Amino acid sequence: MARPAARALSGAPTPDEAARAIPAADNARNEVRNWYAHLMGERRMSEATLVNYHRDVTRFFEFLVDHLGGPADLDALAALQTRDFRAFVSQRRNEGLQSRSIARMISSVRSFFRFLDRSNILSNASATTLRSPKLPHAIPKPLSVSGADAMIGEAEALPGEAWKGLRDAAVLTLLYGCGLRVSEALALNRNTAPLKDTLRITGKGNKERIVPVLPAAREAVERYLALCPFGLTGEDPLFVSARGKRLGQRQVREAMQTLRLRLGLPDTATPHALRHSFATHLLAGGGDLRAIQELLGHSSLSTTQMYTEVDSARLLDIYDKAQRRR
C-alpha cells in the first residue's frame, strides 16, 4: 500500500531518492521507500539518523546482490535465513566496521523488517535473531565551564562574515545553555524569536518538553538576527546557511572542528558534548536528577543517571591527583 511522501530534510534524501539508491527488485525497492517515508514522516527521525539508516539498508541490499546472485525481491527477503544475516554482519566487520556501527546497522535492518511485518508485507523471524554486539560502557565527556564559554566566545571571533560567527555562537549557546540536541536547535523556525522565557521542543520520538531560556541564549539569537542578511519570517528556518537554507548538522560539526583546533580542545569537544556539559554542570551545581531528565527529554531516568558517573569520575580524578602530590 502506497504511503504519502514525507517532507524532505536538508542533507537527507527524499523517500523517492532513498528508494532509487537501493539495488533491489521493484517491489522491494518500493517497500524501502515506504519504510523510509515512515521514518521521516511518522517517526520524525533526525536527519543524521535517516542518513545512517538509509546507508545501512543500502549496504544490506548491496550485500544481497552478491550473496544471492542478483537483486533481492520480497520473496527473497522472506526466505532469508539466520546464516544469511550473520554473513552480512561478518562481512561488514571484516571491512573494519566497529561494534558501535555494527549495532546501529543491525538496528537499521531490524527496523526495515519490523516495518514489513507490521505492514503485513512479509514476515521473517530470522531477522529478529540478530544480536547486537556488547558495547563498552561510555561515560559522557563534557567540556569544562571555561571550555564551553571559550568555544562560544571564539565562534563569534572567527574570521569571515560576522553574522555567521554570531549564528554559530547562538546555536552553541542553545546547546549548552538549554541542553538542546543539534537537530532540535536547527529545527527552530524564525517565529520562535525573539525567544521567550521557555521553548517548546519536539525531541526524539515526537516527545515534547519545555525548556527554560537563559538571557544569554536570548541575547545570542538576537545578535545573530540583527546581522543576518536574509529577511526571515514565520516558518522560515531560524538558523540559515550562506544560501539562506536551513543550516545543516554537518556545518555545525565543521564549525566545532575549527573551534577545537583554534582552542586546542580534544576531539571529544563535539556539538553533543555541549549538551553533556549542560547536564553535567547542572548536576554538579546541585540540580535534581529528575528535573535534568525532563530538561533533556530522556524517556528513562537511567539514561540521565550516566551524568552521575561523570561527576564521580571527576571527583576520583581530583582525589587521585591529590594523592600523587603527597
Q: Does 272 qualify as catalytic in the annotation?
A: yes
Q: Does 307 qualify as catalytic in the annotation?
A: yes
Distance (Å, rounded) from C-alpha 283 to C-alpha 308?
A: 8
Residues of the chain with pLDDT under 50: 1-10, 310, 312-323, 325-326
* Given the residues 164, 218, 275, 276, the one annotated as active site: 275
* Given the residues 36, 53, 176, 307, the one annotated as active site: 307
* Given the residues 59, 164, 209, 298, the one annotated as active site: 298
Cα distances (angstroms) measured from residue 132 to each of 51, 79, 109, 214, 302: 20, 22, 11, 40, 20
pLDDT at site 16: 94
What is the sign, positive or negative, of the torsion defined by CA atoms of 183, 189, 193, 195? negative
Strands 198-202 and 208-212: antiparallel
Distance (Å, rounded) from C-alpha 323 to C-alpha 305?
A: 28
Q: Within 10 Å of residue 63's Cβ, how many Cβ atoms?
A: 19
pLDDT at site 307: 55
Angle of helix 271-284 relative to helix 249-263, nearest 10 degrees, comes to 70
pLDDT at site 306: 59
Degrees (nearest 5) of the Cα angle 124, 87, 50? 65
Q: Does 298 qualify as catalytic in the annotation?
A: yes
pLDDT at site 174: 94
* Given the residues 253, 262, 272, 314, the one annotated as active site: 272
Please report which residue ranges of 119-248 form alpha helices under DSSP H: 145-157, 162-178, 182-186, 215-227
Distance (Å, rounded) from C-alpha 157 to C-alpha 171?
A: 15
pLDDT at site 145: 83
Instruction: Please give the single-letter amino acid code of residue 25.
Output: A
pTM higher than 0.75: no
